[in-house]
Structure 1
Amino acid sequence: VEDNRVYDYKYQPTYIYDADKGKIYDYGYNLQYRIEGNRVYDTKYYPVYYLERK
């Protein structure tokens, strides 16, 4: 299932919990991320982060 929610962490915790692997990922502060499937795109900067899943 595609997850295209936008997370605004400006006033919220800057963590995503990966229940599949029991890991917590820190993606930084005051940024928005667009999640597509297992990929997390930083919408303000170029880096692309991946949620590692089996």
Structure 2
Amino acid sequence: MTRTDADTADYPVSLSSRAYRITVDDGRETFDALEIRDERRPEAYLMSDTVRSLDAMR
């Protein structure tokens, strides 16, 4: 993981997200995944197989 000290207050960050349903073991098991990506920096993304809605976190 790389940390950057760039101040993002000077420019807006454009994020996109995509949801996936991933099936493994010849269809015997499935799980959901969420990807969040900074459109301007292809190397800046997060993918997680732990998906919770914001309402569930309150």
TM-score, normalised with respect to structure 2: 0.25
Bigger share in helix: 2
Structure with bigger gyration radius? 2
TM-score, normalised with respect to structure 1: 0.26
The higher-RCO structure (CA 8 Å, 6+ apart) is: 1
